[in-house]
Structure 1
């Protein structure tokens, strides 16, 4: 198991109501209602878009 993630710092973010609704929709549609998985997926998409700019 890759333990590189253990050295990461914790990050807190505030999400507005619209974004929480979008996360919940993605969680329900793509991740069997798993909000954590949906957030990881959306963060991955955002990072890839950011790297492409």
Structure 2
């Protein structure tokens, strides 16, 4: 658990192979291989698309 935000809930998400490949493509293209950064970027895009 991340001690930065001790009161926040933790969730687990399972990705299928197609989604993992897409995340890896974003990670290696835009984030120097950092899959966590790619996940954050994709989640941010998705959340912003829901606001429209």
What TM-score do you get using the length of structure 1 for normalisation? Answer: 0.83
- Structure with greater helix share of residues: 1
Paired residues, number: 48
TM-score (norm 2): 0.84
Residue equivalent to 2:14:
14
In structure 2, list runs of 5 or more residues that go unmatched.
none
Unaligned runs of 5+ in 1: none
